[in-house]
Amino acid sequence: MLTGGTSQAFGSGGGFLHDDVHDRAAAHFDAPELAHLIGLIVAVNSWNRVMVSRRIPPGGYTP
C-alpha cells in the first residue's frame, strides 16, 4: 500500500499520501525508518520512469 500510495499521491489531486496509508506504515516503522523507506520508494520509482522513458524493458540493460 505504501509503495502504490506514494506513487499515486500526486495523481489523486490532493498531492499527499492518504492518512490511512501513512498511519498503517507508521504502525510498523518509526519516523526515521519510514523516511528511509519512502526515500527508497521514490528512488525506485524514479529509475523505473527513466528506464520507461528510454524504452528499456525490465532486465534489458547489459553493461
Name the CA dihedral angle for 33, 34, 35, 36, rounded to a multiple of 10 degrees.
50
**Residue 63, C-alpha cell as written in the block:** 553493461
pLDDT score for 11: 60
How large is the average pLDDT for residues 36-54? 90
| Length of the chain in terms of residues written | 63
Q: What is the pLDDT of residues 1-39, one digit of tens each?
A: 888 887 776 565 567 788 898 999 999 999 999 999 999
